[in-house]
Amino acid sequence: IVRSKQYLVTQKPVDLALGYRNPHGYGFCFALRRSIQEGVTSHFKGRAVMTDDKSTMSSTEEDLENIGIFRICPSLKPYKDHFKYRMKRYVDQKKLIEEYEGGLEEFAQATFPVYRNSVYGRWEAQIIGDFNGWDGSNHQIKNQFGVWSIKIPDTDGNSAIPHNSRVKFRFRHGDGVWVDRISAWIKYATPYDGVYWDPPLSERYQFKYPRPPKPKTPRIYEAHVGMSSSEPRINSYREFADEILPHIWANNYNTVQLMAVMEHSYYASFGYHVTNFFAVSSRSTPEDLKYPIDKAHSLGLQVLMDVIHSLASNNVTDGLNGFDVGQTSQDSYFHTGDRGYHKLWDSRLFNYANWEVLRFLLSNLRWWLHELKFDGFRFDGVTSMLYHHHGINIVFTGDYNEYFSEATDVVLYILPDATVIAEDVSGMPGLGQPVSDGGIGFDYRLAMAIPDKWIDYLKNKNDYAWSMKEISWSLTNRRYTEKCVSYAESHDQMIHFITMALGGEGYLNFMGNEFGHPEWIDFPREGNGWSNEKCRLCCLSEIYVIILFLELVQFMNAFDRAMNLLDDNFSFLASTKQIVSSADDDDKVNMLPNDCYIVFERGDLIFVFNFHPENTYEGYKVGCDLPGKYRVVLDSDAWEFGGHGRVRSPNLSGDGYG
């Protein structure tokens, strides 16, 4: 499908057909219509070698001997051979992409200049839809090495396929049966139908605001747009932008993370069972999604997207799984057999060694960054991507042998200007280190053990059994120089605050936790009569009314705002200075048995937390790095946060103790 020439006024269209074949006889090809600026030429070669277990290109031994991660963590040196193997695989693959594709940027530009689909096998294929009365006999699709493509010229300056009309990919495989599927590269889809999305200029949303600067540290507000309404219905992107984004900005967050953006047929999957990877969730449209992203940028908020590349929906009719019709793993998006199926998630697992799968996933990332203007990603299920066992029934104890073995299957991404966060439960060393140092290249790791620890305490321990040592250890147990984003599924002010202040170099709050959302979230499903009653953010769209009239919500929301403002003013999350001076269950300085205090310094601030369920103290001594006068800058016991106002003195002083 070629866009109308009015969109290519300053460019020349060039048709390229690039072929790839590896020594094992597997081949991949795609037909691509590229638009190349005047004076720019393409330097691609027509053949490339696929890397599976071995590579024909290698990096120098000197480079592999001087891997930077060993300077940071010498205890990893016994696993040097593993790091060398991993780095060599990455360097060789990158060289192949650079030599035969022109680089990662070019490799990841296969989006939608032609109607294309990656299906492997000796089959017939057609494009069908409303535009040809669902008769594809005159629109046969060419197959070159498993990638099918067709170019349909415009008619009198109008697209041959009307905007917002239904379209599908039809193919006939070995048993002679014709099968209809939604294209893997479709940009918009409704349940069981692909939709050709190419609105005229007059109907396209035009971005008005530039991306905001990347913050020193992310303070993230995680949101599910569909459940952000106060009413029992699915909220729209535009309503979210107008009703919720102002609240996020007012509470001093600097980043919004959107869940369930990619199309997923089953709403109750929370967006994790993706059926169409390039398509915006069908609950709204691509143009509608651009509006909240642009508005967030106007407020100085970065926008991250939950991206699901660890799995794909098991659906056949409307998902990628529908293209798996018994071919080999090398000829499919997924591994075959048990290796290609995640039993706990009831989903398919990608074959990352497949050249076209890499193109598909990297192009997918580029699409969301460049076309929709997202500023980065939180990668879901990274543990499943890192290991052949996918973390199923595995308990990670921290033993390095759990990380560096044949069970590891590392996927490395390079996204120079994006913020990338990994959801990993294993604690893989190097996950947050630069690729150039032997790491995997994520900016942050989501500190998933922290909310689990708080849930364990709240469910299983009475208030007198809380261990200050264990709490402080759980919050500080992260690898040196590898940044973490901490979070807690709780409505407790102190849990939120100490998690933010001690748990990482970034902070995340799921919508509603900031004001004590009273409802348990339950998506529409058969068990609740497909009701949206519990799948909504109770009264958040009326947050300012609530703040005026409900004291509890007012106090919690005010403290959440103050926490974020504190980091705005003092940048303590970005500080590498972190000293825990007291986390004993018995305070030997103040001669207090069964004490429940945690005291630490972060940047220029001293934090003092009293977790005792009953006792309050006067004249309590705390250690500090620098002597001098200290002033109280945030007090959870202040009147404005619903406290008793017991910390009345604005200034504290001392020599070594404050």
Which residues belong to the active site?
Answer: 380, 423
The span from the CA of 26 to the CA of 129, in Å, is 32
Q: Are 368 and 306 in contact (CB under 8 A)?
A: no
Which residues fall within 8 angstroms of residue 595, CB to CB, at 6 or more apart? 468, 584, 585, 586, 587, 612
Residue 518: phi, psi to the nearest 5? -85, -10
The span from the CA of 96 to the CA of 353, in Å, is 13
Rg for the chain, CA atoms, rounded: 27
Nearest to 36 by CA among 18, 11, 1, 16: 11
Nearest to 427 by CA among 473, 386, 388, 376: 386
What's the token pair of residue 336?
A: 């075959």
Q: Are 93 and 362 in contact (CB under 8 A)?
A: no
Helical residues (DSSP H) of 214-301, grouped into ranges: 237-243, 245-250, 286-298
What's the token pair of residue 566?
A: 């504190």
Helix, strand or coil, per DSSP, at residue 15 = strand
What's the token pair of residue 65?
A: 């001997």
The span from the CA of 633 to the CA of 152, in Å, is 65
| First-residue to last-residue Cα distance in the chain | 70
Exposed/middle/buried for residue 132 (C-beta within 10 Å: 0-12, 13-18, 19+)? middle
* C-alpha dist (Å) from residue 35 to 14, 15, 156, 341: 6, 9, 21, 39
The span from the CA of 173 to the CA of 285, in Å, is 33
What's the token pair of residue 594?
A: 């069964």
Type of residue numbered 636: S
Type of residue numbered 41: T
Exposed/middle/buried for residue 545 (C-beta within 10 Å: 0-12, 13-18, 19+)? exposed
The 3 state secondary structure assigned to 326-376 is CCCHHHCCECCHHHHEECCCCEECECCCCHHHHHHHHHHHHHHHHCCCCCE
* C-alpha dist (Å) from residue 308 to 205, 264, 271: 25, 11, 9
- Interior/surface letters 7-24, b for 16+ CB within 10 angstroms, e for the rest: eeeeeeeeeeebebbbee
Q: Are 360 and 312 in contact (CB under 8 A)?
A: no
Positive or negative, the Cα torsion across 434, 307, 207, 102?
positive
Helix, strand or coil, per DSSP, at residue 479 = coil
